Chains A and B, each alone.
Chain A
C-alpha cells in the first residue's frame, strides 16, 4: 500500500510545531502485517497527542485489541491547528501513526468521549479522515464510528454522527463486537448493526426515533428496528485482576501530560458526592489486588524505564491495601523510582502518606473542599468539615509543604453569596494556619491557590434535574472572589464561564443539538477547551441559526417525572436513589459512606449477583 502523501508529509513536517506528534515510531508500538483479513481498528483520541497519550483507557484498549491476532489497533489524534492547515492545503488525510493509513480505510474508528468539549474535534477528525460526518451518509465501504467513555452515558447530541455506542467499561464489549464482525464479514452494514445491537452494553442510536412535545420535552422514544432494547444496560468488569492490563505500554518521546506509569488501583468510588458523575457511573467499586498491582508495576518499569509510578483512581487513599502496596513500591526507591498519589483525601492519614512518598521535594498539595460553607458541603455530600481541612493543612505546613491548592465549585444548587464568601474565608483561614505553624521543617515560601470551576449538572447524578447558573451569575461570583482574595499570598484561578455553560448544554443535551454542533464545527469551532481558540460568540451564532436557546438546556430545571434524553441508558444506579439523594441534598442532610452503611443505590440488583464487599475503611 503506497501512500502517496507520505513523501509530502516528510517535506511538510518541519513546518509545524512538535512534529513528533505526527510520526509514531515510539518504543513498544505494535507492528503487524496487514492482510485482507485483518480487522482494522483506529483508536481516535479527539485531542492532541500529548493529552491522548496520557490517557490510561487508551493504553489499556490498544494493547487489549492488539492481543487479538485478527485485529490491528492503531492510534490517531486531533492534529493541532498548524498541522490541520498543512494537511488541508496539501490534501493529506488524517492518518494513523502506525501504518500511516487514512482513517477511511479502517473497519472501525473508535472515539473516546472524555469530555463534552471534544465533540467538535470528533466532527473535524471525521472530516479530515474523509469519512462522511452524518452516519446516514456512510456507505458499505465506510468504517463504523464507535464511541465510549464517560460521555457515552449521554451521547444523544452525537446520535446523528455515531454508529455504535459502548456504554460502560469497554474491555469485554469490544472483543464481543470484533467477534461478531469477524463471524459476519460480508454482511450488510445495517444487518451488522442489528447483530451488534444484541450485545449487552451496545446502543445503536439510529435504531430509535425521538418525538418531542412542542415546548421541548420528550414525548416518546420509538424503536425503528424490531428487537431494539428499551434499556441499554452499562457494562462493567467484575474482576479487575482477571482483565487485561498492558505489560508493555507505548513510551512517548514527547513529554505528555501524565508522563509516567499509571497503575489503576481500583475503579469506582463510594464517597457519594452528589455532583460527581464518575462516582455514580463507575459503581460498584472494584479493587485490584496488591499482588496484581506489584506484578503490573514490575513489568511496566522493565518495559519503559519510567522513574515515576502514579497510583490512579478516583480517590486513591480509599484503597484498602494502600499501606501494603506503598511499602512494596518503596523498594524501588534505590532505583530512584518515585510514587505519586494524584488525589489526596482531606485527612491527616493522606498527609502522612504524602510525606513518606515525597521525601525530597515538597511540591504542592491539592485539596478539594468543593464548597465554602459546611451547609453547602452537606448539600453536595462532600463529607469534609472545615476542621478536617484546617487540621490537614496544618499537618502539611508542619511537614514542610508551603504550596497548597484548593479546589471549589461555584454555582452549586442552593448556593448563595454567603457560600462564595465562605470560599474566601476558608482560604484566609488556611493561610492563617501557615502563620501559626511552628516547625523546624516549615517551608519559607507559602502560596495558596484558590481555583474555582463552575458547576455543570451531569447525567446520572442526583443533580441531573437541576439548572445551571447563567453566565452573568458565574461572572458575578467570580468577580466577587477576585475582589475578596486580595492577599498577596493567595492567588485565584477561574474557569471560562462561557465554556461551562456550553459544557452544560452538551452534558444533558438531546438529539436536537446535534445540528448546533454541526453548524458550529462548520463555522470553524474546534479545540473548544483551549481558551485562546474557544469561540463563544460563534457558538452562540450557531445556536441562533438552529433556533435553539442554550438556556433551555443549561439553566432550566427539569421535572422529575419527565422523560430524560438519557433514560434509554441504565447506569446501574436507580432513578429512585437519585431522587432520594436530591431530596436529601435540599434538606442539607448527608448520606453515609457506602462502606459504613449501604444506601441502596441499586447497583446490587442491577448486576444480579454483585455483592459490595465491606472492605473496611482505612
Chain B
C-alpha cells in the first residue's frame, strides 16, 4: 500500500469551484497525468483519493492537502511534475510525499487552520477601534455562537477556545487584514465566516458587503506543520 500525500494551492482562478466540482476535476487531472490510482471495490468503483478538508466556495489557499492511494510506488518528485504539467490554471501542486506505512487519514488528524482574511472596514472606524474590539473578544471566557447543524437543528456552542489567534495585521485601502488561527477539523471546527459574522453583528466595525476574502495559509496538526519533506 502506497500513499501519496499531496500539498497544493488553489488560486483565484478556481476559487468559485465547489468542493465537489474540485474533486471531480482532480480525479480527471490524475487520469490525464496517467497516474495509476487504486480503485475502491464494489459496485461503483471510484478513485481512492481523500481530502483533508472541504474547501468553501470563494476561498483561496496555499495549504491544502489530500492523499492518493497508488497502485504501485513511484517517486514523489516525478508525481509532482506529472501533475503540474497537466494541472489547470489556479491549481498548483506544492509538495508530494510518498508514504509506505499506513497512516491516519488527514481528515482525522488536522486540528487548526492558519488564515489570512481581508474584510472591508465600516466608514469612520479607526485602526485603534479594531484593535480594541479584538482585545475585548480575546478577553472573553465564553463566546457563544448559534448555528444550524447538519440536521438543521440550532445548536449553541462556546467557541472562545477555538480562537487560537486573532490579530490585525494592517489596514490598507479601507480593508482590514486579519491573521487568524482557528480550530479546524473533525473535532472542533470554527468557520472564519461565522466569526466575522459575529464581529459584524456585535461590533459593526466591518462591512457585510463585499464579502470578506479568506485565504488559507496552512493546516496544522496539534499546532505543528505537516511534514512533507
- Across the interface, do A305 and B31 meet the contact criterion of CB distance under 8 Å? yes
Cβ-based interface call for B163 (8 A)? no
CB pair B88 A26 closer than 8 Å: yes
State whether B210 touches A11 (Cβ < 8 A): yes
Q: Given A25-B88, A25-B90 in contact, is the A361-B16 Cβ separation under 8 Å?
A: no
- Find out whether the CB atom of B17 lies under 8 angstroms from the CB atom of A20: yes
Asked whether, in the complex, the Cβ of A304 is within 8 Å of the Cβ of B39, the reply is: no
- The yes or no answer to A210 lying at the interface (CB within 8 A) is no
CB–CB B43/A361 < 8 A: yes
| Min C-beta distance of A225 to chain B, whole Å | 47
Q: Name the segment of B21-29, B97-105, B144-152 touching the other chain.
A: B21-29
- Select from chain A the residue with minimum beta-carbon distance to B28: A305
A34 touches B (CB below 8 Å): no
Neighbouring B residues of A549 by C-beta, 8 Å = none
Please indicate the chain B residues that have their CB under 8 angstroms from the CB of A305 in the complex: 27-32, 86
Q: How far is the CA of A23 from the CA of B18 in the complex (A)?
A: 13
A-B contacts counted at CB < 8 A amount to 70
Instruction: Decide yes or no: A11 and B211 within 8 Å by CB, A305-B29, A306-B28 being known contacts.
Output: yes
User: Smallest distance from the beta carbon of A24 to chain B beta carbons, Å?
Assistant: 9
If the complex has contacts A25-B89, A303-B32, are A19 and B16 also in contact, measured as CB distance less than 8 A? yes
Instruction: Report the Cα distance A26→B17, complex, angstroms.
Output: 10
Is residue B74 within 8 Å, beta carbon to beta carbon, of the partner chain?
no
CA distance A26 to B32 in the complex (A): 15
Closest to A31 in B: B89
Shortest Cβ distance from A163 into chain B, in angstroms? 34
Of A250-258, A273-281, A348-356, the one contacting chain B is: A250-258
Any B CB within 8 A of the CB of A440: no
List which B166-223 residues lie within 8 A (CB) of chain A.
Answer: 209-211
B16, B17, B29 interface centre (most CB from chain A within 10 Å)? B16
Inter-chain CA distance A251–B81, complex, in Å, is 21
Contacts of A616 in B (CB 8 A): none
Q: Is the CB of B14 within 8 A of A253?
A: yes
Within 8 Å CB of B18, what residues of A? 18, 20
Q: Do the beta carbons of B14 and A25 come within 8 Å of each other?
A: yes
The distance in angstroms between the C-alpha atoms of A361 and B44, with both chains bound, is 8
| Residue from B16, B28, B29, B43 in contact with A23 in the complex, judged by beta carbons closer than 8 Å | B16
Q: Are B43 and A27 in contact (CB under 8 A)?
A: no
Expressed in whole angstroms, the Cα–Cα distance for A335 and B88 within the complex equals: 22
Which B17-54 residues have a C-beta within 8 angstroms of A?
A: 17-18, 20-22, 24-25, 27-32, 39, 43-45
Tell me the smallest distance from the CB of B10 to a CB of chain A, in Å: 12
Whole-angstrom CA separation of A473 from B22 in the bound complex: 48
Cα distance A20–B17 in the bound complex, in angstroms: 6
**Given the contacts A25-B88, A253-B14, A302 and B21 also touching, CB distance less than 8 Å:** no
Chain B residues contacting A26 (CB-CB under 8 Å) are: 88
What 1/0 flags go to A6-25 for Cβ under 8 Å of B? 00001111110011100101
Q: How far is the CA of A473 from the CA of B98 in the complex (A)?
A: 68
A425 located at the interface, meaning its Cβ lies under 8 Å from any Cβ of chain B in the complex: no
Residue ID in chain A nearest B213 by CB atoms: A10
Whether B21 lies near A20 (C-beta < 8 A) is yes
Is residue B13 contacting chain A, with contact meaning CB distance below 8 A?
A: yes
CA distance A13 to B210 in the complex (A): 10
Are B32 and A253 interface neighbours, CB within 8 A? no
- Do the beta carbons of B28 and A251 come within 8 Å of each other? yes
Nearest chain B CB to A269's CB is how many angstroms away? 32
Contacts of B134 in A (CB 8 A): none
Q: Which residues of B contact A20 (CB under 8 A)?
A: 16-18, 21
- State A13–B17 Cα separation when bound (angstroms): 12
- Find residues 81-134 in chain B having any chain A CB closer than 8 Å to their own CB: 86, 88-90
Could you mark each residue 5-19 of chain B with 1 if its beta carbon is under 8 Å from any beta carbon of chain A, else 0? 000000001101110
Assess whether A360 is in contact with B43, with CB atoms less than 8 Å apart.
yes
Kindly report which residue of chain A lies nearest to residue B209, judged by CB atoms: A11
Which residues of A have CB within 8 Å of B29? 305
Q: Which of A10, A305, A335, A336 has the most CB of B within 10 A?
A: A305
In the bound complex, residues from chain A placing their C-beta under 8 Å from that of B76 are none
- Complex interface: chain B residues within 8 A of A253 (CB): 14, 17, 21-22, 24-25
Chain B residues whose CB sits within 8 angstroms of the CB of A301 once the complex forms: 31
Q: Mind listing 12 A-B residue pairs with CB under 8 Å?
A: A13-B16, A14-B211, A19-B57, A25-B14, A251-B28, A253-B17, A253-B25, A304-B32, A305-B27, A305-B32, A360-B44, A361-B43
B residues in contact (CB < 8 Å) with A:
13-14, 16-18, 20-22, 24-25, 27-32, 39, 43-45, 57-58, 86, 88-90, 209-211
